[in-house]
Amino acid sequence: MSRLREWLADGLLITDGAWGTELQARGLTAGAAPDIWNLTHPEQVEAVARAYVDAGSQVILTNTFRANAIAMDGDLAAVNHAGVAISKRAAGQRALVFASIGPAGKLLAAGEIDEGQLQAAFAAQAAVLAAAGADALLVETMSDIAEGRLAVDAAKSTGLPVIASFAFDSGRNKDRTMTGATPEAVATAMAAAGADAVGANCGAGVEYAAALCRRLRAACDLPVWIKPNAGLPVMQETPDGTAIRYDMPPDFFASHYAALREAGASFLGGCCGSNPDFIRALVRVRCASS
Find the part of the chain contacting another protein (CB under 8 A) among 2-10, 45-53, 100-108, 193-201: 100-108
Angle value at C-alpha 278, between 42 and 218, nearest 5 degrees: 105
Q: Is 276 helix (H, G, I), strand (E, B) or coil?
A: helix
Backbone angles phi, psi at 60, to 5 degrees: -120, 155
Q: Which is nearer to another protein, 74 or 133 (CB)?
A: 74
What is each CA distance from 45 to 83, 141, 280, in whole angstroms? Answer: 8, 21, 19
For residue 74, give the 3-state DSSP assignment.
coil
> Three-state SS for 114?
coil
Closest CB to another protein among residues 4, 189: 189
Q: How far is CA 281 from CA 28, 157, 204, 253, 284, in A?
A: 26, 37, 20, 8, 5
- Given a contact cutoff of 8 angstroms between Cβ atoms, the answer to whether 219 and 145 are in contact is no
The answer to the question of residue 73 lying near another protein (CB under 8 A) is no
Residue 62 near residue 97 (C-beta atoms within 8 A): yes
The window from 21-29, 38-46, 47-55, 187-195 that contacts another protein (CB under 8 A) reads 21-29
Query: Residue 124's CB: how many other CB atoms inside 10 A?
Result: 17
Q: What is the 8-class DSSP label of residue 11?
A: S
Determine if 22 is a binding residue for another protein (CB under 8 A). no
User: x/- binding map, residues 231-260, to another protein, per CB under 8 A?
Assistant: -xxxx-----xxxx-x--------------
Looking at residue 279, its amino acid is: I
Told to check if 105 binds another protein by CB under 8 A, we report: yes
110 counts as binding another protein under rule CB under 8 A: yes
Give the nearer residue to another protein in terms of CB position, either 169 or 196.
Answer: 169
Stretch that binds another protein, among 19-27, 41-49, 134-142, 274-282 (CB under 8 A): 19-27
Is 30 a binding residue for another protein by CB under 8 A? The answer is yes
Which one of 107, 113, 127, 283 is in contact with another protein (CB under 8 A)?
107
Options 9, 10, 31, 116; binder of another protein; rule CB under 8 A: 31
Applying CB under 8 A, among 170, 207, 249, 259 the residue interacting with another protein is 170
Nearest distance in Å: CB 201, another protein: 14
Q: How far is the CB of 181 from another protein (least distance, A)?
A: 8
Does residue 69 interact with another protein by CB under 8 A?
no
CB 101 within 8 A of CB 139: yes
- Could you tell me the smallest distance in angstroms from the CB atom of residue 235 to another protein? 5
Which stretch, 128-136, 172-180, 249-257, 280-288, contacts another protein (CB under 8 A)?
172-180
Going from the C-alpha of 119 to that of each of 125, 190, 221, 264, the distances in angstroms are: 10, 16, 26, 31
Going from the C-alpha of 81 to that of each of 62, 119, 131, 204, the distances in angstroms are 10, 19, 8, 31
User: Per rule CB under 8 A, is residue 131 in the interface with another protein?
Assistant: no
Kindly state whether residue 169 participates in binding another protein, applying the rule CB under 8 A: yes
Residues that bind another protein (CB under 8 A): 20-21, 24, 29-32, 105-107, 109-111, 143-144, 169-172, 176-180, 232-235, 241-244, 246, 272-273
